[in-house]
Amino acid sequence: MAKRRSIPALTLSALVALGGSSLAMAHGDVTPQGVNTDGLPTLGQEWPDTNPYRDTDAFERAVEIGSSAYNQNCARCHGLEAISGGIAPDLRLLAPDFDGDDWYKYRVINGAVRDGKVYMPKMADYLSQEALWAIKSYLDVRHDEME
Ligand code: HEC
């Protein structure tokens, strides 16, 4: 798995090394886009272990918000509609359960930085917890659609 990912990651770091905005030119916006989470229950400071919108009345709204938030903030690396074009992992593979949520949470909070190179920014520095769980809700639906 690590081997399969190392080539795209190198390509990405080469693009970033060219001056940050080259990715933006290749894939869309470089600045994380604010997400309007009106209509979603607010979550406070603490991150729950699993998607707090799953199995609630708010799920449908979360998916709707998450779909556009994903396409504005994640698609340029992870692919339109979460179908990976090879630059970064296919996020449809994340399971809609504790394991998938836990890994998702870890990555959006910590990003992916190795040897000082930023492969993925710390998205939680730019987007609210509500927006990020909305994106996970959208990914849960994309996961189910894949099966
Ligand atoms: C600048 C490109 C970039 C952007 C923007 C980006 N990611 Fe990533 N992401 C990556 C790369 C590259 C990896 C693989 C990192 C690694 O394996 O070291 C990754 C890994 C992940 C992982 C772990 C997946 C796995 O299978 O291991 C998750 C979850 C994730 N990203 C979520 C997101 C979400 C959600 C967004 C938008 C809010 C986002 N990413 C935006 C590049 C990006």
Query: Ligand 1 mean position to 96 CA, how many Å?
Result: 17
Is the pTM here over 0.75, yes or no?
A: yes
Mean pLDDT to the nearest integer, 48-70? 97
Q: Which atom of ligand 1 is nearest to the CA of 135?
A: 35
pLDDT band of residue 34 (cuts 50, 70, 90) is confident
Task: Please indicate whether residue 27, judged by its CB atom, sits closer than 6 Å to ligand 1.
Answer: no
What does CATH list as the number for 2-146? 1.10.760.10
Q: Which residues of 53-83 are buried (b: 16+ CB within 10 A; e: fewer)?
A: bbeeebbebbbebbbebbbbbbbbbbbeebe
Q: Which atom of ligand 1 is nearest to the CA of 87?
A: 12
CA 26 distance to own-chain centroid? 18
Residue type present at position 124: A
Which percentage of the chain shows pLDDT scores above 70? 78
- pLDDT at position 128 over 70: yes
Q: Which residue has the higher pLDDT, 9 or 66?
A: 66
